[in-house]
Structure 1
């Protein structure tokens, strides 16, 4: 409840003592760490961080990182190979396999964390009038931090196991697309 003597002492210390104390502190390893954006410590499950050969190294150019090829002729993005993010639902760096349907859609919302909404347009034939009507369906899709899609971009998604109540697909490829006006108003067939 009174004044804190420690806080006052640290402010009044001469700068030379502060630098000596900083020299004595252990330096962080030169290996780039994983992004720590959550309360729990984030690490890749396939990489053992406490290995003796990693702890003793002074300078390593690259951190140990797990990534894989999802198959189906989809290229692993450079950010997945060299980035620092940890995402267990990412098809390239996490524990998710792509199987089943492959679809394309237009991004209409990127407001959620690591999840986007895509719109799939299609034509429905009405037999009585011999004509088609426009229809659409929205799909919630997990988006790895390796991609940064914007509204209007065309994404290729692949089916995976259920990741959440409504999420069953994962982004595999992003094609930049210049949309003028609202992305929801565009009707593009793939």
Structure 2
């Protein structure tokens, strides 16, 4: 609850001298604000970044049916949550822009391999 969300606080960083406190919402100065979303990790190829995919249904009035859509959101991974893999369910929160494409940060690991 230290960041204003009802998420468990992860353990302290292993190496405090080398830890990036500037981009950590738990032990640093990164404020979280705005929306929180949950989704599935679909890519872990980049360093300190994951791609979170969220599927949702959109109603199409012309055909009177629902169509599936998806959003792919790049999110920063703080060092204390570094053990994410493809298929993990995570919760992400909106924050200030961290880089050109990243404006979200991972705040909780909900489950693995859905």
Q: TM-score, normalised by structure 1?
A: 0.55
Structure holding more strand per residue: 2
1:53-73 CA-to-partner distances (Å, cap 9, x unmatched) read xxxxxxxxxxxxxxx921222
The runs of 4+ residues in structure 1 deviating greater than 2 Å are 175-179
What residue number does 1:103 align with? 37
Q: Which runs of 5+ in 1 are unaligned?
A: 1-67, 180-190
- Specify which structure has the higher proportion of helix: 1
RMSD, aligned CA: 1.5
SS in 2 for 1:146: helix
Gapped runs of 5+ residues in structure 2?
none
Q: Which has the higher contact order (CA 8 A, sep 6+)?
A: 2
* Matched positions, count: 110
Q: Secondary structure at the match of 2:9?
A: coil
Query: Which has the larger Rg?
Result: 1
Structure 2 distance, partners of 1:121, 1:171, is 18
Specify the alignment match of 1:72 in structure 2. Answer: 5
Aligned to 1:25: none
2:106 to 151, 159, 171: 171
Instruction: Map Cα deviations across residues 58-114 of structure 1 (whole Å, 9 max, x no partner).
Output: xxxxxxxxxx92122222101xx2521512211112221011001001000111111
TM-score, normalization: structure 2?
Answer: 0.89
User: 1:116-171: CA deviations, max 9, x gaps?
Assistant: 10101011110011100111110000001211111000110111000001100010
The reply on whether 1:83 has 2:14 as its aligned counterpart is: yes
